[in-house]
Amino acid sequence: MSTQTMTERAIPRTSPIERVRWAIHDGLVLTRRNLLRYVRIPTLLVFSTIQPVMFVLLFRYVFGGSIANLPTGAHSYVNYLIPGIFVQTAIFGATQTGVGLAEDLNVGIIDRFKSLPTARSAVLAGRTTADLFRNLFVVLLMTAVGYLVGFRFQDGPVKAVLAIGLAVLVGFAFSWISAAIGLAIKNVESVQAASFIWIFPLTFASSVFVPVEGFPSWLQVWGRNNPVSIWANTLRGFTLGNEYLRAIGESIGGLVIKSGVWIAVILAIFVPLSIRTYRRT
């Protein structure tokens, strides 16, 4: 058909600044939508906090007494454990990003969002941002639970904030991995199952719960270089202070850089991958 038979309309061109402004606006509208879910179903939040609390209690009271070889400067097992729990909780919590997206795909609401003049990035940004807030809440709760069972920040409030901030950032990076998985698999139960296949070895074969020195030597190689260990040790650097850092032979600056590079690498791979998968679904 020739274009003359059609009504030509002026196509509004928006400036790049305008586009960014709307992208942020749309992302926030959807962040609010995703957070309202926890307001409407508070039990969801309750149940998502029971598991990390159980992990704290399990390791603090069941396994904790038998864990030896703690580096000097760890003060006590609970002080070694809680920073690890922050990282583990944030990573486990991030699996909800993929589950949430798969749910949205299945009820058809993603089709609606896509048919609206809404920024293409908004659905993913809104979901990962909402999950960031959710993770922040859970980490703060873990701090409270930690304080009840003997954990203390040893190195002042600024380092405490940095520790919590890093844990939440790790969760944010994993939200994007989870988003890519959720969009690719699309089935809620499968997404849940698929996430734990790789998350369990990643978090348990690390220094999250125990020092890697107790691992068999072949596993130590993995355990030391596992980014989860690096994040856990960076958090401990913040919560335990210099004595611990000296004992493991690291500097806080070096650990922060390594942690940041790992987070950047994950985001650099999985943000574009998620967006591409999203466009295709």
What is the binding site for another protein (CB under 8 A)?
Answer: 1, 3, 5-9, 11-12, 22, 25-26, 29-30, 33, 36-37, 40-41, 107-109, 111-118, 122
Closest CA to 87 of 229, 239, 272: 229
25 to each of 39, 121, 175, 278, how far by Cα in Å? Answer: 21, 11, 20, 19
* Beta carbon of residue 125, minimum distance to another protein (angstroms, whole number): 13
Provide the CA 166 distance to its chain's centre, in angstroms. 10
* Beta carbon of residue 24, minimum distance to another protein (angstroms, whole number): 12
Closer residue to another protein, CB minimum distance, 120 or 152: 120
* Beta carbon of residue 19, minimum distance to another protein (angstroms, whole number): 10
Closer residue to another protein, CB minimum distance, 10 or 62: 10
Q: Distance between CA 175 and CA 131 in Å, rounded?
A: 7
Q: Distance between CA 274 and CA 280 in Å, rounded?
A: 10
What burial class does residue 16 get, using C-beta atoms within 10 Å of its C-beta: 0-12 exposed, 13-18 middle, 19+ buried?
exposed
Closest CA to 89 of 121, 122, 59: 59
Query: Does residue 110 contact residue 123 with C-beta atoms inside 8 Å?
Result: yes
* Beta carbon of residue 168, minimum distance to another protein (angstroms, whole number): 23
* Beta carbon of residue 8, minimum distance to another protein (angstroms, whole number): 6
* Beta carbon of residue 145, minimum distance to another protein (angstroms, whole number): 27
Q: Distance between CA 56 and CA 61 in Å, rounded?
A: 8
Helix (H) or strand (E) holding 51: helix 42-57
Closer residue to another protein, CB minimum distance, 33 or 224: 33
Closer residue to another protein, CB minimum distance, 115 or 217: 115
Closer residue to another protein, CB minimum distance, 7 or 66: 7
